[in-house]
Chain A
Amino acid sequence: MNEELNQHLSQLLDDELDYQVALNLLQKMHTSPELKSTFARYATISHALKTDQFLPVPPNISENIAQQIAQEATYLLPQHKPAGHHYKRAALAASVAVVAVLAARGVNLPPLPATAPEATSLQVAQKTPAKPEGQTIANTALQPEDPYPLNARISDYLEAHNNSVYTGEVDVDFRPLTKETSYNQR
């Protein structure tokens, strides 16, 4: 009997056991600490054989997990209904169609780059200087690396110029948007 149970334990670990037999075995493990201990030992041996690594598993790991699951909060929010079979079929059909089209065109998908090209181009676009404001301005360039920050003096000037708009707190906020313009005298 023990020999048969041990064989079932081994099959269970290899996912070769019949569903009903596996269920009966798990029920027996639930009531037999000895069987449970044997299962843990088999699992450790199996893991070591398959991965060449030994991970010591505490004998009471399953109880601990069961206890933690029992202590988990129960969420009463409505759950999304699983997608119906027709969605799965549609998704499968779409995937097959894409594969068929790509195969028909003989497209070789390039390997994924280390950084997404879209992100790179976006970053470049953000750093691109704005267009010059008029045709009379011959040479316009953003100089974000201006060593001198927009200082308190300019902030005070702005406030004095139009105190309904500027409140003396512009030196920090406005700095990234400051741009410099040069032009040729007519």
Chain B
Amino acid sequence: MNVLIGIFACLLLSAANPLAATPQQPPAAKNALTTMLKSMQTLNYQGTVVFLRDGKLEPMRYINAAAQGREQERLISLNAPLREIIRDTGNASNLLKTTRQRNTGNRPFEYSFLIDMPNNLDDLDANYTLSVLGEETIALQPAYIIGIQPKDQLRYARKIWLQKEHFLPLKATVYNHAGKTVEQLVFTELIVKDTLPFANTQPVKNDIMQSNAANSAEAAFIIKKLPSGFRELFFTRRPLHNSTQLVDHLLLGDGLALVSVYMEHATASPPSTNTSKTVQSLGAINFFSQTLGAFEFTVMGEVPSETVRLIAENIKLREKK
């Protein structure tokens, strides 16, 4: 009888934890990513992470402190230009150590410097297929490989390597349609701690406030039709080029990829980078500029050139009431 009760208790425990997988049976991809999001928000961990963007390597120190519902991420560059970036419950402070000038911006759409994902992963179902691709060792830690495959040609494929012990991301890669890596981050070492100190993010005298969210209905333009899965995340109007000229900035996202649309007076813009009506790219970022009436529009994001072009073609000046 005692044996039966024991077996029953084990079954109950297994059912309660969807990630209680045997070594032969990896967890479901969505469950693994859900646990990743929870671990990223609740665990204290730090390490050295290397970003590969546009063929350039940038090693940074990464620290994530979490306690009593508060979470703070810090990225500290190891090479010049020295800077420290802090994201503290929705605010991203970009502290340039070389000048001691601190720029503070409110970016409520950002959840992590490492991997930004919606809390409800069901939002990805319409446009991405999640799967467990296998296992690999990253930074001397065994990891599951989670594949995120787009269902159309309007977004990039990704892979995330999740540490088996805590399901923290050890590596993440973005691939273009040709299967070439266009963006990557990888931890060279990652340690989970019981506690980690929070950095002081109290406003200081010389802080420059970069962006406050505004209502996108104030934007002087609309996008007639967004690509499947994309929605408006954030809108702000502020000077960008150290001048009084205001720039409208609309941020779009599909849960993984972000696309920015900028609008400013064409006369206020420096010479256009794009006279041949082509999409330009910087690593995973594609951007396209065009003039519409008296305004210059630029669309940029970590999406294929086709997506950037599609969004740009659907921009329309808002009719004055």
Contact = CB atoms under 8 A, between A and B. Distances in A.
Contact of B285 (A132, A134, A152, A158): A158
**Chain A residues touching B, majority SS:** loop
Given A133-B177, A133-B305, A136-B177, A161 B258 contact: yes
A135 interface: yes
Contacts, number: 128
B178 A133 contact: yes
B260 A151 contact: no
B43 interface: no
B187 interface: no
Interface stretch (B15-23, B80-88, B221-229): B80-88
B133 interface: no
Contact of B278 (A133, A174, A181): A181
A129 interface: no
Interface stretch (A31-39, A58-66, A165-173): A165-173
B305 A164 contact: no
Interface residues of B, number: 57
27 contacts: A133-B177, A133-B178, A134-B304, A136-B177, A143-B276, A148-B271, A148-B275, A151-B271, A153-B270, A153-B298, A154-B300, A161-B258, A161-B260, A163-B85, A163-B94, A163-B105, A163-B107, A164-B113, A165-B51, A174-B282, A177-B283, A179-B280, A179-B281, A180-B279, A181-B278, A182-B277, A185-B309
Interface of A: 131-137, 143, 146, 148-154, 156-158, 160-165, 167, 169-170, 173-174, 177-183, 185-186
Given A160-B262, A162-B258, 10 more contacts: A134-B153, A136-B306, A154-B287, A161-B258, A164-B92, A165-B53, A180-B280, A181-B281, A182-B278, A183-B306
